[in-house]
């Protein structure tokens, strides 16, 4: 699977495992290999690829992903890049699989997006004198402790990494895990540099079905949060019409369940994946991968999933990028820094009742929504530039101005 979006479709789990075990040996060489484990990381890989190609338009690229959703997104996101990058699944972290792809693609630099520490790959890269950069790098305290406890496995590979950390806290954790301090820079979070998503192709349908009602986007909703999200049209109805709900469950396995629960609650549901004729509806179910960032453009307010259970939150920057006020729950350990930096753009709720009240307040107060939009814009303005810093570091490594020495 290489070179074009037509070859980068979702292969399904069994086919994906087979292609990861024995990576396709395409003919294309690649100076830079970029790996993004799943959908969010593939989006960042695309941001980085655009920036690399802006400086070197002919730069040969290999882009990989590990999950069915990530692999399926590769072709859609990278469609139109010229020359086309080589696209395929990430190999299993086994010596024969890693060696086969390294031999086939002959990269001169490997870029891992966010947090991926693969001992076999890193060891093979070190033996070949191949620099490895972790871009927009983040590391939880728990993961850093695991790496310290497994120094025999991670110690050597970590010493040859170059880290473009997302924050000073992440930089400190990578240093504590064993990456030499002189190989760590705080470059920032590339999510702040992502291109503004286009308006989705289903925008007209959502607006027609909403029929002037405000739109609440419930994004990245976990299974345990479905009841809260589905209750929003009823609980936010007030004296006027109930708002229209654009519901985006986090995992594909819950799409059918979400549709069933919404229908059982008396709501009229239409699904993105199953076009229907015009007619009234209460819920638009976004049961596709890779369209949520664009869908946020259709909302008036957003409820962020992953924050009302024990998951620590999902991507809060996607709704903020399009100026959407966001309500989050108490579980924000994975996004705390962004939430705190966002100020008035994010309302924090202690539970579902408080979330409903916060959403109702925002829907009733256009000035509060304007303040939130201004705060979101200021947040992005303050934090732009991580991609440019990461690109400079990548080219330094690629051109031999920094990087590891060959190790036997």
Return the ∠ at Cα 305 (arms to 329 and 282), rounded to 5°: 110
Pairing type for strands 86-89 and 301-304 reads unpaired
Size (the chain), residues: 408
Say what the pLDDT of residue 5 is: 37
Per-residue confidence (pLDDT) for residue 305, from 0 to 100: 98
Residue 8 reports pLDDT greater than 70: no
Edge-to-edge strands, sheet with 215-221: 269-271, 283-285, 244-249, 215-221, 301-304, 326-328, 346-348
Of the two residues 227 and 160, the one the predictor is more confident about is 227
Give the pLDDT of residue 159.
87
Confidence band, pLDDT 50/70/90 cuts, at residue 408:
very low
230's CB contacts (< 8 A; 6+ apart) are 245, 247, 258, 261, 262, 265, 267, 283
pLDDT tens digit sequence for 25-74: 877 899 999 999 999 999 999 999 999 999 999 999 999 999 998 999 99
How many angstroms separate the CA atoms of 227 and 217, rounded? 15
At residue 142, the pLDDT reads 84
Domains by residue range for the chain, with CATH: 5-195+385-398 (3.40.50.11720), 203-383 (3.40.50.2000)
Mean pLDDT, rounded, for 327-352: 96
Whether this model's pTM surpasses 0.85: yes
Residue 325 pLDDT > 90, yes or no?
yes
Q: Is the pLDDT of residue 379 over 50?
A: yes
Using left for φ > 0, alpha for ψ between -120 and 50, and beta otherwise, residue 147 falls in alpha
Q: Which one is catalytic: 41, 43, 116, 225?
A: 41
pLDDT tens digit sequence for 220-238: 999 999 999 999 999 999 7
- Evaluate if residue 400 carries a pLDDT over 60: yes
The sign of the torsion formed by the CA atoms of 246, 251, 256, 262 equals negative
> What pLDDT was estimated at residue 12?
65
Is 41 labeled as catalytic in the residue annotation?
Answer: yes
Q: Are 325 and 216 in contact (CB under 8 A)?
A: no
- What pLDDT is attached to residue 254? 96
Work out the percent of the chain whose per-residue pLDDT is above 90.
Answer: 78
Which is it for strands 109-113 and 132-137: parallel, antiparallel or unpaired?
parallel
Give the pLDDT confidence score for residue 155 in this predicted structure: 66
Instruction: Please list, in sequence order, all residues whose beta carbon lies within 8 angstroms of the beta carbon of residue 215, skipping any fewer than 6 positions away.
Output: 206, 243, 244, 245, 246, 298, 299, 300
Answer with the residue of higher pLDDT: 279 or 378.
Answer: 378
pLDDT at 156: 76
Q: Is the pLDDT of residue 403 over 70?
A: no
pLDDT at 349 over 60: yes
Q: Determine the pLDDT at residue 17.
A: 86
> Of 98-107, 149-158, 166-175, 226-235, which gets the smallest average pLDDT?
149-158
Whole-number mean pLDDT of the chain? 92
Q: What is the C-alpha separation between 237 and 245, in angstroms, rounded?
A: 11
Q: Provide the pLDDT confidence category of residue 1 given band limits of 50, 70 and 90.
A: very low
The CA-based dihedral angle spanning residues 346, 387, 122, 63, taken in that order and rounded to the nearest 10 degrees: 100
Confidence (pLDDT) at 79: 86
Q: pLDDT-based confidence at 148, cuts 50/70/90?
A: confident
């Amino acid at each position: 699977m290489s070179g074009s979006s037509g070859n980068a479709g979702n292969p399904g789990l069994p086919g994906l495992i087979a292609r990861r075990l024995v990576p396709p040996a395409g003919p294309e060489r690649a100076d830079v290999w970029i790996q993004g484990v799943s959908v969010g990381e593939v989006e960042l890989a695309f941001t980085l690829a655009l920036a690399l190609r802006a400086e070197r338009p002919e730069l040969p690229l290999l882009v990989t992903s590990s999950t069915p959703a990530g692999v399926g997104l590769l072709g859609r996101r990278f469609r139109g890049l010229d020359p086309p990058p080589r696209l395929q699944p990430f190999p299993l972290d086994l010596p024969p699989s890693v060696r086969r792809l390294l031999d086939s693609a002959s990269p001169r630099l490997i870029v891992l997006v966010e947090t991926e520490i693969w001992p076999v790959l890193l060891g093979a890269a070190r033996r070949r004198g191949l620099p490895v950069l972790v871009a927009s790098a983040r590391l939880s305290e728990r993961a850093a402790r695991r790496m310290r406890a497994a120094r025999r496995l991670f110690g050597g590979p970590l010493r040859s990494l170059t880290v473009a950390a997302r924050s000073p806290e992440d930089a400190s954790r990578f240093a504590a895990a064993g990456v030499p301090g002189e190989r760590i820079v705080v470059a920032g979070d590339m999510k702040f540099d992502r291109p503004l998503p286009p308006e989705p192709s289903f925008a007209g349908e959502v607006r027609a079905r909403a029929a002037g009602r405000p739109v609440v986007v419930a994004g990245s909703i976990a299974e345990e949060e479905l009841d809260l999200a589905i209750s929003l049209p009823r609980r936010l109805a007030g004296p006027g019409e109930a708002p229209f709900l654009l519901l985006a469950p986090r995992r594909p396995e819950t799409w059918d369940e979400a549709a069933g629960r919404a229908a059982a609650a008396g709501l009229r549901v239409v699904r993105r994946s199953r076009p229907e004729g015009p007619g009234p509806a209460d819920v638009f179910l976004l049961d596709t991968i890779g369209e949520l960032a664009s869908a946020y453009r259709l909302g008036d307010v957003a409820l962020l999933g992953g924050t009302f259970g024990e998951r620590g939150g999902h991507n809060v920057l996607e709704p903020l990028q399009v100026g959407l006020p966001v309500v989050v729950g108490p579980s924000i350990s994975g996004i705390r820094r962004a939430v705190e930096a966002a100020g008035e753009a994010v309302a924090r709720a202690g539970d579902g009742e408080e979330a409903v009240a916060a959403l109702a307040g925002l829907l009733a107060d256009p000035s509060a929504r304007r303040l939130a939009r201004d705060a979101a814009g200021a947040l992005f303005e303050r934090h732009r530039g991580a991609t440019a810093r990461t690109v400079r570091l990548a080219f330094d490594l690629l051109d031999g101005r920094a990087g590891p020495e060959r190790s036997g």
